[in-house]
Amino acid sequence: MIHMMKPTMCFIGIPFNVCAFQMFDLQARFYVKYLDGDLKLPSEEEMREDTEKDMQLRWEKGYNKRQAHMMGPGQRSYYNDLATMANLIPIDPVIVKLRDESVKRLHTDLMTFREDRYKIVDKETFVKVY
């Protein structure tokens, strides 16, 4: 997200298969913490090593180059890492669970999944209303 060699350059919203707007907000809050001086970034070398390690894990999972920024099942740990590193309020787990349910419904009932309605009960739980 933050350019390793030019840390005043940040790319918000690159990952896909995510909780988009919540992720954009979290990434922006993370970057503002850095710009305000409240967050110290790892060294360029550490960031490069972390990126290489992350990409190696993706290749081992069978991802191809087009999927280099795909999150899907890995998004929750990404959100938690950002929130923890910058001492930010994290994205509630229920949001990721709702997104996962929506994707599952998309694949099982393409014609009517958009009619589904949910109610958030708490930070962990939702119920389908209809």
Report pLDDT for 27. Answer: 99
Q: How many domains does the chain have?
A: 2
Instruction: Indicate whether 77 and 113 sit together in one domain.
Output: no
Q: What mean pLDDT do residues 88-107 have?
A: 97
pLDDT of residue 58: 94
pLDDT confidence of residue 20: 97
The candidate with the shortest Cα–Cα distance to 31, out of 63, 7, 52, is 7
Residue 14 lies in a domain: no
Domain that residue 109 falls in? 93-128
The answer as to whether 108 is a domain residue is: yes
Would 7 be classed as within a structural domain? no
Residue 9 covered by a domain: no
To the nearest 10°, the Cα dihedral for 7, 60, 75, 101?
160
Phi, psi (rounded to 5 degrees) for 70: -75, 135
Q: Output the pLDDT for position 50.
A: 96
pTM assigned to the model: 0.91
Is 13 within 8 Å of 23 (Cβ atoms)? yes
Q: Give the pLDDT score at 16.
A: 97
Q: Express each pLDDT in 53-78 by its tens digit.
A: 999 999 999 999 999 999 998 899 99
Note whether 97 and 44 are same-domain residues.
Answer: no
